[in-house]
Structure 1
Amino acid sequence: MDGLKIADPFEKDNSATDTNCHSHLWIPKHLIHFIFVFWQTYFVFKYHKVVFNVQKFVLRFLLSHMAVANLCQWLKTIVDEIMEEERHRKLHSMTGHHSKRSDLPTILHVSFYSSEPENASINAYACKSIGGALLNYLSPCAIEYSLITGAIFYKMFAKIGQVQKESDRMEKSRRQNELTRGFSECHRSHRGLFVGLLMFMATIVAMALFFIFASRDNNLAHKTIPKNAMLIYHVTEISLLLIGFLTCIICYYRFRVLKFHDLSEEGAFDGNLLLIGLMGMVFYNMFLLVPAMETLNNDTEQSRLFAAKAALEIIQALVQVSLRQTFSWSFKVFFILEASRRCARTMEHVRKKPGRTLVVLLLIINLSMWVVNIFEVKRAGQKGLHKDYFGDIVWAIIINISLPLIIFFRFHSTVCLSDIWTHAYKFAHD
């Protein structure tokens, strides 16, 4: 993302040679941020498992600072996105055009534009760049990166001085690997893998059709995404959610025979991150559901599809994370958290691996929905029913706050399910 912004001043149209699209600090600012992200990523990859036991006060200060800095970067990106959409909306209202944001550059310094509407329009369109079309899709990834790295730094902060606990954990992992060494990594997961890959390829085809119909049929004079494109989007989402819902139920039933063990500190941390993403998921879909339900009486297909999609996504997310145990009415259990606490009870469980193929299928379903959320959700929600109901600014705030959390929820669910796929069929040693 920083690379595109650095290249943006060099991609101006020839007609914009005398136009100041960016400030003189534009390139140095994003170059410094690029170097910061590169070295931060290198540090996290190399030292995220290290337990520090020296200079504890200084390290706690530095790691807490890095965690807060990444959260501030997360909030800054959200604010920039909201301000950018509002600037484009005002520009369109001045010029009478309704072009997409992807047709305009990312311009954070509007003060360089002329105060005259005509000149502002000329300067804005003169500053178009190729990279601006990609920023819609990269911004949620940048926000997700800041959230993940902030969580990793907090985790490193919490483990400072806990050398003995980490040593015990590594010894348990070594003994587990010795007991299950005779089984291949993909044992009892091939069917779920191939069915999941088939669904993933179907999702990619549906995404391609969505963008083909959206670009071919889109009339810039209207405020709605083309009907065929929206139908493809909703059918894709609802199909993935239905299959994911059924897979969660069956997978939970198969996991009931495995043994419970105490939830590790790492598992509890992953669960807390998952709940953060779940809040964003419920937050977004509740705002989708309200205007869709209020317009159901108008007998519009778009309202019915949005209502079905929003309700089903809330149910699927809650079932994937929280599911009431059907065998005991005394408490509520969390599916991913509960599966993280499951382990093999006998060698028969190690050999048969009950539910493992379903875990792989659910993993790939979440991966497919993660891809859909990155490339389709923001464009499908840009115009029409919800903007008319909430207003441009409010809807921009809703979608820019919740969409990165939705993407994070799907991504982190995939990570948690991969851990379950790896560790649920080993013996735990207390």
Structure 2
Amino acid sequence: APCQTHVSTGRSMSTDRDAGDLELDTVCGTPENPTSEPLQSSDHHQTHEQELDPVLLWVPSGRRLISGLVGLNVVLLGTALVIGENFNPEGLSHQEPEVFLLVLMGISLIWMFWYLLWARRHPDISPHRDHHAGGVPVILALLLFAAFSLLLFVFRVGYLMSTRECKPAATLISPFMEAPFLTLQTYLLWAHSKDCIHRHKIITRSGLMMILSTDLLLWLNAVTEDNIHVEIELGKRNGNSTCQCNASTACLAFRKGFEIFFPFNIEYYLMAGCLIYVMWKNVGRITGPDHHVTEKKTLYIVCTGGITLGLVFGGLVLAAGVTAFVLYQVYVSQPEFRLTAFFIFYGYHLVVMPIMSLCSLVGLIVQRLESRAREVGPNPSRRLDVVLLMAAALGQLALSYFSVVAALGIGTDGPLGELDLSYSLLSLLELILQNIFIIEGLHRHPHLSIKKKKKKKKQMSTPPTVQEQGATKPWAKRVRQEICAFLILSNIMLWLIPAFGVHPQFENGLGKEFFGFTTWFIMMNLGQPLSVFYRMHSVAALTELLISA
């Protein structure tokens, strides 16, 4: 009876646990107490039988320890190889980084084929599903990046074939291995990103960690390759390389397409790695019925929810952004108009970012006025959303702070310096306010509000009470939806501009003059991809806030 009471209490407190946490409950249900029934469903009974597999007696107690150690060692070794090739390419004469990545992609392909074929034969492989993982906006963005990445491979193969005389074999083979890896991973995430797998957990976690490690190393390798392309564009190389594109039109077209679509490949591996991480965290996870969320279509909400101001002003931001982007690309290639191009870039951002900051502040105030209860309980997807927002924002935050330090050290030195400093300060304000607004919104409970009791004279404080509320306040819902719609369109534009290669801070930032070209160049290429990913992830998070408003 004590064991039975313990089980029922545990289940009422939380139904969202890893199956391994229920081992003690299973022991309580031994034949010594045949009347106790700690598990009411056959799915749970099967889970306990699998968790007590004798093989688990020979592995460490941590359920994620083995796969975590495998991933850590693989990533560290791959990072050392990729960075070593970047700083001393002559020292690694046998293309060790490329060969290592090819081996990882091959192992990942074998595991994905095994899982997809095995999963079809075992429909009970995933008795639970995480409905917060792999939302519609995220999957659509992943498919978009995958499509552009596959198009990139076409241009990449054409470019490599045009310069095959001076390219190593591993580099020539890489696109033919990377394309199947990307395609199969996209299908895996599209079809199984919500799975909470309950069979062969050690193999499953190790396989997912291998894919995650491969994504991280391919992203790191892509960032270093992007460094080389920007160096070529800036003319910082000596120009004596024997491996240059010839004068043929086809080769030049392939290289141009390679450079245009390269940022999408970088974003793909960041997003795919995040979804794979959620799948890894969800292995063995048990979710209760309260975790099922009915997915609404954003387009339906926009059409029927009366959202007008956010769409109108957001559309103006998009239209102005496209115009500024086109003018920048036209003027920046002409020496006499380069200054005008930089004025257009900074002027657009100095107008848009204060408005975005004000909207985030108003949205935060509205959320505070509603006094919603916070959603509690383990949720890997929600925790990952917050971590990604904070981590991705570090890219632009770091660049902004370094620019501020450079301005303090050498001064602004003219209008471009003043514009760059203003841009950095406004970026700090906008990112901080938007992050607070999004994170607070993600943790709001959709149905519960907090109502504080009035303090009495003889009482120091009275704890707030959680009160059920059937519907949100109409005016608060309308304000939040309008703000989310505007911020979504604004973040899309702020994502498109750097994603297609508009980086004036590479050449005109205060940081280059203060820290030196090499240091600033490395910082920009590490910070800019994170900034692009932040905007894309903000769009997904704001879309979720719009749906749940």
Query: Which bin holds the TM-score, normalised by the shorter protein?
Result: 0.7 to 0.9
CA RMSD between the two structures: 2.8
Q: Which residue of 2 aligns with 1:20?
A: 165
Shift of the alpha carbon at 1:92? 4.5
Given that 1:233 and 1:376 are in contact with CA atoms closer than 8 Å, whether structure 2 keeps it comes out as no
Shift of the alpha carbon at 1:341? 2.1
Equivalent of residue 374 in structure 1, options 499, 504, 509: 499
Equivalent of residue 61 in structure 1, options 206, 214, 236: 206
Given that 1:210 and 1:229 are in contact with CA atoms closer than 8 Å, whether structure 2 keeps it comes out as yes
SS at match of 1:131: helix
Q: Which residue of 2 aligns with 1:304?
A: 418
Equivalent of residue 218 in structure 1, options 326, 335, 339: 335
1:14-413 correspondence runs (5 A):
20-86=165-231, 92-94=237-239, 113=242, 123-124=244-245, 126=247, 129-165=252-288, 167-170=289-292, 173-174=293-294, 186-215=304-333, 217-218=334-335, 226-258=338-370, 259-263=372-376, 265=379, 266-296=381-411, 298=413, 300-321=414-435, 334-342=436-444, 343-344=446-447, 345=449, 346-347=469-470, 349=472, 351-352=474-475, 353-354=477-478, 355-378=480-503, 380-385=504-509, 386-413=511-538
In 1, distance between residues paired with 2:322 and 2:348? 10
Shift of the alpha carbon at 1:34? 1.1
Kindly tell me: are residues 185 and 337 of structure 1, through their superposed partners in 2, closer, same or farther at Cα, counting changes over 3 Å?
farther
Shift of the alpha carbon at 1:263? 4.3
Shift of the alpha carbon at 1:421? 0.7
Q: Which amino acid aligns with 1:381?
A: Q
Q: Which amino acid aligns with 1:247?
A: C
Q: Which amino acid aligns with 2:183?
A: F
Shift of the alpha carbon at 1:407? 0.5
TM-score of the superposed pair, with normalisation by structure 1: 0.77
Given that 2:318 and 2:493 are in contact with CA atoms closer than 8 Å, whether structure 1 keeps it comes out as yes
Shift of the alpha carbon at 1:138? 3.0
Shift of the alpha carbon at 1:316? 0.8
SS at match of 1:349: coil
SS at match of 2:287: helix
In 2, distance between residues paired with 1:308 and 1:282? 14
Q: Which amino acid aligns with 2:411?
A: L
How big is each residue's C-alpha offset from its partner over 1:25-49, in whole Å with a ceiling of 9 and x where there is no partner?
5443212111111111111111101
When the two structures are aligned, how many residues end up with a matched partner? 366
Q: Which amino acid aligns with 1:199?
A: V
Give the percent of matched residue pairs that are identical in Structure 1 and Structure 2: 19
Q: Which residue of 1 aligns with 2:156?
A: 5
Shift of the alpha carbon at 1:291? 2.9
In 2, distance between residues paired with 1:297 and 1:7? 44
Q: Which amino acid aligns with 2:338?
A: P
Q: Which amino acid aligns with 1:418?
A: T
Shift of the alpha carbon at 1:388? 3.8
How big is each residue's C-alpha offset from its partner over 1:109-154, in whole Å with a ceiling of 9 and x where there is no partner?
x6xx2xxxxxx7xx55547521323444433322221111111111
Shift of the alpha carbon at 1:156? 0.5
Given that 1:263 and 1:340 are in contact with CA atoms closer than 8 Å, whether structure 2 keeps it comes out as no
In 2, distance between residues paired with 1:248 and 1:74? 31
Given that 1:74 and 1:147 are in contact with CA atoms closer than 8 Å, whether structure 2 keeps it comes out as yes
Given that 1:277 and 1:409 are in contact with CA atoms closer than 8 Å, whether structure 2 keeps it comes out as yes
RCO higher in structure (CA 8 A, sep ≥6)? 1
Q: Which amino acid aligns with 2:375?
A: D
SS at match of 1:260: strand
Kindly tell me: are residues 90 and 278 of structure 1, through their superposed partners in 2, closer, same or farther at Cα, counting changes over 3 Å?
closer
Q: Which amino acid aligns with 1:197?
A: G
Kindly tell me: are residues 284 and 239 of structure 1, through their superposed partners in 2, closer, same or farther at Cα, counting changes over 3 Å?
same
In 2, distance between residues paired with 1:195 and 1:90? 40
How big is each residue's C-alpha offset from its partner over 1:164-196, in whole Å with a ceiling of 9 and x where there is no partner?
34x4311xx25x98xxxx988641422211221
Q: Which residue of 1 aligns with 2:77?
A: none
Q: Which amino acid aligns with 1:76?
A: N
List alignment gaps of at least 5 residues for structure 2.
1-151, 450-468
Q: Which residue of 1 aligns with 2:117?
A: none
Q: Which amino acid aligns with 2:274?
A: A
How big is each residue's C-alpha offset from its partner over 1:72-117, in whole Å with a ceiling of 9 and x where there is no partner?
111111222234555777874457xxxxxxxxxxxxxx6xx2xxxx
Shift of the alpha carbon at 1:297? 5.7
SS at match of 1:256: helix
Kindly tell me: are residues 80 and 367 of structure 1, through their superposed partners in 2, closer, same or farther at Cα, counting changes over 3 Å?
same
Q: Which amino acid aligns with 1:203?
A: G
Given that 1:366 and 1:411 are in contact with CA atoms closer than 8 Å, whether structure 2 keeps it comes out as yes
Given that 1:213 and 1:228 are in contact with CA atoms closer than 8 Å, whether structure 2 keeps it comes out as yes
In 1, distance between residues paired with 2:194 and 2:405? 44
Q: Which residue of 2 aligns with 1:103?
A: none
Given that 1:86 and 1:393 are in contact with CA atoms closer than 8 Å, whether structure 2 keeps it comes out as no
The structure whose Rg is larger is 2
In 2, distance between residues paired with 1:296 and 1:89? 25
Shift of the alpha carbon at 1:3? 1.8
In 1, distance between residues paired with 2:315 and 2:232? 41
Shift of the alpha carbon at 1:21? 4.9
In 1, distance between residues paired with 2:539 and 2:307? 15
How big is each residue's C-alpha offset from its partner over 1:6-28, in whole Å with a ceiling of 9 and x where there is no partner?
12246x5xxx8xx8353455443
Given that 1:274 and 1:409 are in contact with CA atoms closer than 8 Å, whether structure 2 keeps it comes out as yes
Given that 1:3 and 1:34 are in contact with CA atoms closer than 8 Å, whether structure 2 keeps it comes out as no
Range moving further from structure 2, 251-260 or 236-245: 251-260
In 2, distance between residues paired with 1:244 and 1:310? 15
List alignment gaps of at least 5 residues for structure 1.
96-109, 114-119, 220-224, 322-333, 425-430
